[in-house]
Amino acid sequence: MGDRISTPKDMKRSIFRGIRTALLNSGSATKVELSEQLGISFPTISKFVGVMEKAGEVAAVGLDDSSGGRRARRYAYNPDYRLGITMFLEKKETPYAICNALGEVKESGSCSGVLQEGIDTLTKQLESLMELHPGIRAISFGVPGAVKDGRIIHIPGYEKFQDFDLKGFFQAKFRLPVAVENDMNAAVLGYCERMRVSNSESLVYLCFGQNGPGAGLWLNGSVVRGSTSFSGEVSFVPLYDGGNFQQAISNEEGAAVMMDNSSAIDAVSRLIASYAAMVNPKAVIFCRDEVSEELLDAIASRSAAYVPKEHLPVLAASDWREDYLNGLRTLGMNLILDDHED
């Protein structure tokens, strides 16, 4: 940023984040307003805002009316100063979106699938996008597998990414903050952000998916990942003697998901009954393109055979891709707000 501020690193990051958040939420503010809102001294706020203004991160947008003294200068945040790129890795394609600090999508598109190609292809895709958009300051990835601390620990069928530290690799490569999240965890986060689900509510997001079934769990205001980040890998749930959830909803070859038969409906109903008995979620959200109203009615009816109806969750459907993108965008915006070039 040019000027250096002699403040401990964590405190510095906290102050920058506070100023960014306050300006993005309010639209504009004076230094006095920022000082009062953040509980930080006026000289400190002045110093930090000065650094941000010099870098082009904030801009003066006019003077307040005078109350007798000197007119206070009003500042606004430049949401395009830092951009974040979200990418979700799928078998056939890699959709991406480049967003600013307000979450506005500046560009979206799709690259070729990389899960079977490997990390080199993904690196080249990112390099070309970052060359076109030098304002990119954060990267958030979504993957169809279990993720622990940025490392992909379980991704069946895609050996090139198994046990690969995606976060560590790209943080070292580009010197930028990186987030890596399981696709269903990102989707449940995105849904709850979009629908403003309260911290006291719990819900499950369930998809059958091209890469096998998965679930995301929202509980007490946050995504549940579990002790080994394996939460939501519902394909392993042993619903029947000799058969798990994945086997129960797949065809005889074990490939395509079949939801148009009573055995699959029973399997989903048992899974919902299990969640109801253990977590008691308010709702279970399905992927809109995987269910119909008739199917949801059939699942609700069958679930009542296992758990008293009054304790069952509401069944609803949502746009999975939109929720997935929104979850990754939320993760990316958090990285943007925290980032600071010293």
Q: How far apart are CA 121 and CA 321, in angstroms?
A: 23
pLDDT bin (cut points 50, 70, 90) of residue 176 is very high
Q: What is the mean pLDDT of the chain?
A: 92
Q: Under the phi-then-psi rule, with left for phi > 0, alpha for psi from -120 to 50, and beta for the rest, what region is 75?
A: beta
pLDDT at 2 (0 to 100): 46
Inter-axis angle of helices 31-38 and 9-26, nearest 10:
120
**Which candidate, 231, 305, 232, places its Cα nearest to that of 267?**
305
Residue from 275, 273, 258 nearest 217 by CA:
275
Max Cα distance, the chain (Å): 81
Q: What is the 3-state secondary structure (H, E, C) of 257-296?
A: ECCCCHHHHHHHHHHHHHHHHHCCCCEEEEEHHHCCHHHH
Tokens of 137: 């300051």
CA distances in angstroms from 17 to 20, 83, 339, listed in the order given: 5, 15, 8
pLDDT for 252 beyond 80: no
Instruction: Give the model confidence (pLDDT) of 192-248 as tens digits.
Output: 999 999 999 999 999 997 778 999 999 999 999 999 999 999 999 999 988 899 988
Q: What are residue 83's DSSP bridge partners?
A: 136
| Closest listed residue to residue 269, CA positions, set 221, 232, 309 | 309
Paired tokens of 222? 């946050």
- Helix, strand, coil: what percent of the chain each, to 5? 40, 25, 35
Query: What confidence score (pLDDT) does residue 43 get?
Result: 96
The pair of structure tokens assigned to 166 is 């995606």
Q: Which two tokens stand for residue 192?
A: 């709850």
Query: How large is the average pLDDT for residues 148-167?
Result: 96
Give the pLDDT mean for 59-74. 80
- Which helix (H) or strand (E) is 341 found in, with range? none
User: pLDDT tens, 130-148?
Assistant: 999 999 999 999 999 999 9
More confident residue, 180 or 69: 180
Q: Choose among 147, 142, 187, 193: nearest CA to 285.
A: 187
Of the two residues 261 and 240, the one the predictor is more confident about is 240
